[in-house]
Amino acid sequence: MATPAAMLEGVAPPQPPGTDMTGICFRDQLWLNTYPLDRNLVFDYFALSPFYDWTCNNEQLRMRSLHPLDLSQLTKMTGTEFVLSEVMEPHLFLIRKQKRDSPDKVTPMLAYYILDGSIYQAPQLCNVFAARIGRALYYIEKAFTTAASKLEKIGYAGPVDSETETASLESKVAKETIDLKEVKRVDHILASLQRKLPPAPPPPPFPEGYVPPSTAETEKGTETQESAEPQAPQVDPIIDQGPAKRMKF
């Protein structure tokens, strides 16, 4: 087992209690190539990382040349300690940091796991919930933004995606659907109103001296209008007679 002085060489200074180190990872490939990673040596490897607390009870056992994970000795002490809670050799090791107040009373503080030689600090449950909720809210907001942008395209010309085309087609079909009962109801109302109204008055007679053109002449003039030369516009007979000769109704 390496001495504490040798382990202190090249090791980062310990972080103050409560420091969040979930964003860092520790790995010593030279140590992994030299020693096997098992339950007997895993704590020595963990002591090289910046997650290790040099004031813990395990370090006192190491100074007394005792195994640092000996529970028979740790239960006799009080203070901060590390225990090996889960082991799946040689890939996964779970180390829990806790505060011991008595042989039967401990308070969990933090958890660390060694996955294939890389050491991580496990995040706290509240941080996991906050991250998951924040991610869910982000995707919900993004979904509402996408839906709002697609709704704005409905009714506008131009290429749109298949969802917008489907929505526009359904809206168009709904508008073109005719309710026969509603049509009959409107026709009945119009017929009843027509019966109540008086008959329309006859059209006023033409002014004196005005002869309307015949239908044959009108059609003939329409066919030859494109090839004929432009002629002077006809004089309105009502304006030509002057205001004194206009008929009064």
List pLDDT tens digits, range 165-215.
Answer: 666 666 665 555 666 777 788 788 878 877 777 776 777 776 666 666 665
Element (H or E) spanning 9, and its range?
none
Contact (CB, 8 A) for 112 and 118 = no
**Can you give the pLDDT at residue 6?**
41
Q: What is the pLDDT of residue 124?
A: 82
pLDDT-derived band of residue 157, with 50, 70 and 90 as boundaries? very low
Residue 220 pLDDT grade (very low, low, confident, very high; cuts 50, 70, 90): low
How crowded is residue 46: how many other Cβ atoms within 10 Å of its Cβ? 20
In the predicted model, what is the mean pLDDT of the chain?
76
Percent of residues, the chain, with pLDDT higher than 90: 33
Q: What is the DSSP letter of 3?
A: -
- CA dist., res. 9 & res. 168, Å (int): 72
Summarize pLDDT for 55-75 with one digit per residue, the tens.
Answer: 999 999 999 999 999 999 999
What is the residue-wise DSSP string for 146-165? HHHHHHHHTT--S---HHHH
User: Residue 96: beta bridge partners?
Assistant: 83, 111
The first and second tokens of residue 173, run together, are 């079909």
Neighbours of 4 (CB within 10 A): 12
Where does residue 58 fall: left (phi above 0), alpha (psi -120 to 50 degrees), or beta otherwise?
alpha
SS (H, E, C) 112-126: EEEECCEEEECCCHH
Residue-level pLDDT at 212 = 65
Contact assessment for residue 36 and residue 90, using Cβ atoms and an 8 Å cutoff: yes
Q: Which are the contacts of 141, defined by CB distance < 8 A and separation ≥ 6? A: none
- Does residue 96 contact residue 81 with C-beta atoms inside 8 Å? no
Vertex 77 angle, CA 74 and 79, to 5°: 100
Q: Give the whole-angstrom CA distance, residue 112 versus residue 95.
A: 5
Find which of 4-18, 113-127, 181-195, 211-225 is predicted with most confidence, using mean pLDDT. 113-127
